[in-house]
């Protein structure tokens, strides 16, 4: 392969972030972090790769087939690039044991990796916002995580006309699967299949459903499971009837509805039994956020996983949370013109220095140094031209707030300050420059 050009490209399914792309990503990450911090969540992070077994033991087939795994050459341990954050979080919580104050509210926004075929909304490397409450069994905790997800989307301009939270419950899903005749030890496989239903061919779906021991009639019923989502205002008795499940499987959803209402979020929410989630460890409520027309993959997905921390050797700690990737979210934001090129999101320089003659050139670097030491974002032209119009165009191109023009006034320790938004131009004593730029 020596000299072949593919090595000079980013690996398939990964991305190079040039400054405009990076500005978009930082804009998204800022919304994530600000939403989580304002809701009282503390930021954490874990390793990019974990012991392979951390995933093979608990996450189920849906994720294990997509792992990038490797060994240290000569080493004995298998590692895997982190495909999701929850096992890391549960491992950290388990390691702290009784030392963990509960409830604990944690968030993280690291990279994740899935070795699957790249396609729209699905890359091999993506950034994911993870928000979790540990040690709180109440539906208030589920509602708090949903509130953070919606607050983050709100900061990016997405409201109830744009996105919808579709909420289900594993107890109801599993009851419906059992009623179809799925054996208890195949429930995890059936959940995984149901989760993939919209993404695989009907024939492949039917073949896999048959492997679960279903006859043709049951395969058809599995494929149609769920039907229409219903508004979160629907009364529980009606919902239980629509889903053909006993009312007691819906107790937590009823309590969750009150909590969502107290947070003013009911308009965003629908009950939707077709939401399953592919991960094996969920135990209660599961939910996804979708663009309202349903035209992209899920923007976020999460739920309750009350046994995972204990399964990693920790105390028995109920927990719930969600993940929100950057890839689908960015598609939705671009679809709705809430993000354009990205250049408008780059940090604006406070000052762009322009020297009009050879006698002022020597003043540029010391003045840049002075402004930067004051914490200001200062740039200077790298062109040799003395054409002020061209130089000011460069200043505008990087969206500088002010041009600082070093001309013959510099002999009197004065510069010309041009406000590039208003066009106003004034002479300013050098000594006052930081103050003038800082108040711009």
Cβ–Cβ under 8 Å, residues 86 and 94:
no
| Shortest spacing between CB 65 and its own copies, in angstroms | 10
Stretch that binds its own copies, among 89-97, 159-167, 224-232, 419-427 (CB under 8 A): 89-97
- Is residue 336 a contact residue for its own copies (CB under 8 A)? no
The pair of structure tokens assigned to 388 is: 């002020």
- Write the DSSP assignment of 127-184 as a string of letters: EEEEEEEES--SHHHHHHHHHHHHHHHHHTT--TTTEEEEEEEHHHHHHHHHHHT--G
- CA–CA distance, 63 with 86 (Å, rounded to integer): 12
Instruction: Classify the C-alpha dihedral 65-71-75-77 as positive or negative.
Output: negative
Pick 196 or 263: Cβ nearer its own copies: 263
Pick 289 or 378: Cβ nearer its own copies: 378
- Is residue 23 a contact residue for its own copies (CB under 8 A)? yes
What does the radius of gyration of the chain's CA atoms come to, in whole angstroms?
Answer: 27
Pick 238 or 316: Cβ nearer its own copies: 316
Determine whether 349 is exposed, middle or buried from the number of CB atoms within 10 Å of its CB (0-12, 13-18, 19+): buried
Pick 115 or 338: Cβ nearer its own copies: 115
State which of residues 200, 373, 390, 396 lies at the interface with its own copies (CB under 8 A): 373
- Is residue 384 a contact residue for its own copies (CB under 8 A)? no
Alpha carbons within 13 angstroms on the beta-carbon side of residue 286 total 23
Pick 109 or 180: Cβ nearer its own copies: 109
- Is residue 44 a contact residue for its own copies (CB under 8 A)? yes
State which of residues 180, 212, 349, 395 lies at the interface with its own copies (CB under 8 A): 349
- Is residue 202 a contact residue for its own copies (CB under 8 A)? no
Pick 178 or 343: Cβ nearer its own copies: 343
Contacts (CB under 8 A) with its own copies, residues 229-288:
259, 262-264
- Is residue 411 a contact residue for its own copies (CB under 8 A)? no
Pick 173 or 380: Cβ nearer its own copies: 380
Q: 432: Cβ–Cβ under 8 A, 6 or more apart, which residues?
A: none
User: Given the structure tokens 């000079």, which residue do they identify?
Assistant: 8
- CA–CA distance, 96 with 273 (Å, rounded to integer): 35
Contacts (CB under 8 A) with its own copies, residues 289-328:
312-313
Stretch that binds its own copies, among 76-84, 220-228, 279-287, 320-328 (CB under 8 A): 76-84
| Shortest spacing between CB 393 and its own copies, in angstroms | 13
- Is residue 51 a contact residue for its own copies (CB under 8 A)? yes
Burial profile 8-30: b = 16 or more Cβ within 10 angstroms, e = fewer: eeeeebebeeeeeeebbbebbee
User: Given the structure tokens 């690996």, which residue do they identify?
Assistant: 11
Stretch that binds its own copies, among 65-73, 176-184, 195-203, 212-220 (CB under 8 A): 65-73
Contacts (CB under 8 A) with its own copies, residues 160-189:
none
| Shortest spacing between CB 2 and its own copies, in angstroms | 7
| Shortest spacing between CB 45 and its own copies, in angstroms | 4
- Is residue 40 a contact residue for its own copies (CB under 8 A)? yes
Pick 293 or 384: Cβ nearer its own copies: 384
Report which DSSP code applies to 41.
Answer: P
Contacts (CB under 8 A) with its own copies, residues 94-153:
94-96, 103, 106, 111, 113, 115, 125, 136, 140, 147, 151
- In sequence order, what are the beta bridge partners of 404? 353, 417
| Shortest spacing between CB 70 and its own copies, in angstroms | 3
Burial profile 238-272: b = 16 or more Cβ within 10 angstroms, e = fewer: ebbeebebeeebbebbebbbebbeebebbebbbbb
- In sequence order, what are the beta bridge partners of 166? 270, 288
- Is residue 68 a contact residue for its own copies (CB under 8 A)? yes
The pair of structure tokens assigned to 200 is: 């695989």
């Amino acid at each position: 392969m020596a000299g072949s050009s593919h090595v000079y490209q980013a690996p398939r399914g990964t991305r190079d972030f040039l400054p405009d792309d990076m500005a978009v990503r930082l804009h998204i990450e800022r919304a994530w972090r600000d939403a989580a911090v304002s809701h009282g969540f503390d930021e954490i992070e874990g390793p990019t790769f974990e012991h392979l077994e951390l995933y093979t033991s608990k996450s189920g087939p849906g994720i294990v087939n997509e792992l990038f795994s490797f060994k240290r050459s000569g080493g004995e341990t298998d590692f895997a690039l982190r495909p999701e954050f929850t096992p890391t979080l549960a491992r950290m919580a388990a390691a702290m044991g009784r030392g963990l104050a509960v409830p604990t509210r944690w968030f993280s926004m690291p990279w994740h990796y899935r070795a699957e075929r790249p396609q729209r909304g699905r890359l091999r490397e993506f950034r994911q916002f993870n928000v979790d409450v540990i040690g709180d069994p109440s539906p208030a905790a589920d509602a708090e995580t949903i509130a953070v997800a919606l607050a983050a989307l709100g900061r990016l301009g997405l409201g109830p006309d744009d996105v919808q939270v579709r909420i289900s419950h594993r107890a109801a899903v599993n009851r419906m699967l059992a009623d179809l005749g799925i054996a208890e030890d195949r429930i995890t496989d059936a959940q995984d299949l149901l989760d993939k239903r919209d993404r695989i061919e009907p024939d492949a779906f039917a073949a896999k459903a048959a492997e679960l021991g279903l006859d043709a009639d049951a395969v058809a019923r599995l494929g149609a499971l769920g039907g229409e989502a219903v508004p979160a205002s629907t009364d529980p008795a009606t919902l239980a009837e629509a889903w053909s499940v006993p009312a007691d499987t819906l107790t937590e959803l009823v309590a969750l509805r009150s909590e969502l209402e107290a947070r003013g979020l009911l308009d965003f929410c629908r009950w939707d039994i077709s939401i399953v989630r592919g991960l094996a460890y969920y135990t209660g409520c599961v939910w996804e956020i979708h663009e309202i027309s349903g035209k992209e993959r899920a923007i976020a997905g999460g739920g309750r996983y009350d046994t995972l921390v204990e399964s990693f050797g920790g105390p028995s700690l109920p927990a719930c949370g969600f993940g929100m990737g950057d890839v689908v979210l960015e598609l939705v934001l671009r679809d709705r013109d809430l993000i354009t090129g990205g250049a408008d999101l780059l940090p604006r320089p406070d000052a762009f220095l322009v020297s009009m003659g050879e006698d002022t050139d020597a003043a540029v670097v010391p003045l840049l140094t002075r402004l930067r030491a004051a914490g200001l974002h200062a740039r200077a032209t790298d062109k040799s031209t003395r054409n002020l119009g061209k130089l000011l165009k460069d200043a505008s191109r990087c969206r500088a707030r002010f041009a600082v023009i070093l001309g013959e006034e510099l002999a009197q320790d004065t510069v010309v300050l041009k406000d590039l938004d208003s066009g106003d131009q004034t002479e300013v004593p050098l000594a006052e420059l930081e103050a003038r730029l800082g108040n711009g």
